[in-house]
Amino acid sequence: MKKLTLTCDVLSIVKIALQQYIDRFNRNQTDKAIQRASNEVIYHLYTDADIETLLKVWSESNKGETTLFKDGLDNDCRQMWDMIWNSEEYKKILNKQYCMGINGPGVFDKALDRFIPCSIGDHYSAIIRALEEHSDMWSLYKAFKKDLKPIIELDIFILKNFILVGNKNNKTWYVPSERQY
């Protein structure tokens, strides 16, 4: 029998393996923003150069290992996806998905890079939950609630740092000094 010799493009095989992994992962993923951001990265953005860089980082994190998928696809693909999910590029794409309203209404906190979901018409409660994460602003909010005197610094912080997703009112309607008590 003649020996069959095959050649292949390793970068293409790795990209296909990463696509297959994310397709399986997305079946159990309920966060649509994560699904869409992951798909956008691997199906539309990652080039051969990106895959090559990913492989170098993966190899370094595995003590110089150069043999891919020797224990099957899942372990190596999961490690590579963890690297992708922790990258700044991915986080920007994910945040864009949240701000587009893929997961419904909410407040995106730019300072913490975090999306806080809410019900339709309940953005103010989400803003309050977000303020609790900023101790200096939370103190100002508590002072406002006590005296009901506008605190411009608090209003400016909300206007600059929060993106309201799925709201129908003007953003200034949600600042504490504009609320009717």
pLDDT given at position 8: 77
pLDDT tens-digit series, residues 37-92: 999 999 999 999 999 999 999 999 988 888 888 878 888 999 999 999 999 999 99
Q: Is 122 a residue whose pLDDT tops 80?
A: yes
Structure letter (DSSP) for residue 109:
E
Q: What is the CA radius of gyration of the chain?
A: 23
Q: What is the mean pLDDT of residues 95-103?
A: 93
Q: 0.85 cut: is pTM over it?
A: no
d(CA 100, CA 113): 15
**pLDDT confidence of residue 169:** 73
Q: Say if residues 105 and 123 touch (Cβ distance below 8 Å).
A: yes
Inter-residue contact 166 to 104 (CB < 8 Å) = yes
Confidence bin at 146 (pLDDT 50/70/90): confident
